[in-house]
């Protein structure tokens, strides 16, 4: 999680609504129009079904009560408007209570293509469609419960599980079937949508212990992705003894990173 931000989230009114500017709606429209055309044949079916269920507006930022009305009926979830940055403790607390945190700002045009911190487009467009899916919703709920009870050290390992599933997860039902995307960090990024399914990155079958031991950086295209077979496999992950695997990962240590350290990468 970033320690500082240039963005300030909007405050909701008594009915949960936000008065966005025309410029902000215009940015949403451009982001939505650009990315929605990339997803057929690339996004997983559960995500595309969720897009249909939410019925988001193309030309304006959705209001959170509009999203909530669909999520509550589908899986019992709702959104929670939060500041641009929240603590890990608050993040886990919200998920444990089936509330998905949404920072209510949208990126500037200067950061149109890449943003290190999640904005409302990332959260609503990238993640909320899959919260209509029971397996994804149940996994997110369990993850919040585990994180809320975990130590600070264990949360660092749990963060890798979230990163390589909810944020940057891929799926493939069989070797001869196409890869699909379910990670919101990819689904909300035109560049990473194409990159993740291309020839450059490494892709490996999901193994919980390996995922927990894999370092990542938030400011680059991912050098490695982990692949599950189908969205319901998230239920199977939830049945694993995740915290026992965290202890094994701590004992074994991390894999060698597949990327340069940040300071070196910036200098080159």
Rounded Cα distance between 1 and 200, Å, is 26
Rg (CA), the chain: 18
On whether 167 is known to bind a ligand per the annotation, the reply is yes
Phi, psi of 103 (to 5 degrees): -75, 120
Q: Both tokens of residue 85? A: 């940055």
Strand segments, DSSP code E, in the chain are 78-82, 99-103, 170-171, 180-181, 202-205, 224-228
On whether 122 is known to bind a ligand per the annotation, the reply is yes
Q: Both tokens of residue 33? A: 């129009």
Q: Both tokens of residue 265? A: 């990468």
Asked whether the beta carbons of 144 and 88 are under 8 A apart, the reply is: no
The 8-class DSSP code of residue 63 comes to P
Q: What is the DSSP string of 221-261?
A: --SEEEEESSTTHHHHHHHS-HHHHHHHHHHH-PPPPSS--
Show binding-site residues.
122, 127, 167
Show binding-site residues for Fe cation.
122, 127, 167
């Amino acid at each position: 999680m970033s320690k500082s931000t240039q963005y300030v989230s909007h405050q909701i009114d008594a009915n949960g609504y936000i008065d966005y500017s025309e410029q902000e709606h215009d940015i949403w429209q451009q982001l939505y129009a650009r990315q929605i055309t990339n997803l057929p044949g690339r996004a997983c079916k559960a995500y595309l079904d969720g897009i249909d269920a939410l019925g988001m507006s193309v030309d304006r930022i959705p209001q959170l009560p509009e999203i909530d009305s669909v999520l509550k009926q589908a899986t019992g979830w709702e959104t929670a408007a939060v500041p641009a940055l929240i603590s890990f403790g608050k993040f886990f607390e919200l998920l444990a209570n089936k509330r998905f945190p949404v920072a209510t700002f949208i990126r500037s045009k200067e950061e149109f293509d890449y943003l290190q911190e999640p904005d409302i487009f990332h959260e609503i467009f990238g993640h909320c469609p899959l919260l209509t899916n029971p397996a994804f919703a149940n996994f997110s709920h369990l993850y919040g419960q585990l994180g809320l009870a975990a130590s600070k050290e264990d949360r660092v390992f749990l963060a890798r599980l979230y990163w390589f599933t909810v944020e940057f997860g891929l799926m493939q039902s069989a070797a001869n079937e196409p890869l699909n995307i379910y990670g919101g960090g990819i689904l909300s990024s035109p560049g990473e949508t194409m990159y993740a399914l291309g020839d450059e990155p490494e892709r490996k079958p999901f193994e919980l212990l390996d995922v927990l031991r894999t370092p990542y950086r938030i400011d680059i295209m991912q050098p490695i992705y982990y692949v599950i077979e189908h969205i319901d496999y998230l239920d199977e992950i939830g049945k694993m003894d995740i915290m026992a695997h965290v202890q094994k990962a701590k004992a074994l240590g991390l894999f060698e990173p597949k990327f340069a350290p940040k300071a070196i990468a910036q200098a080159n």
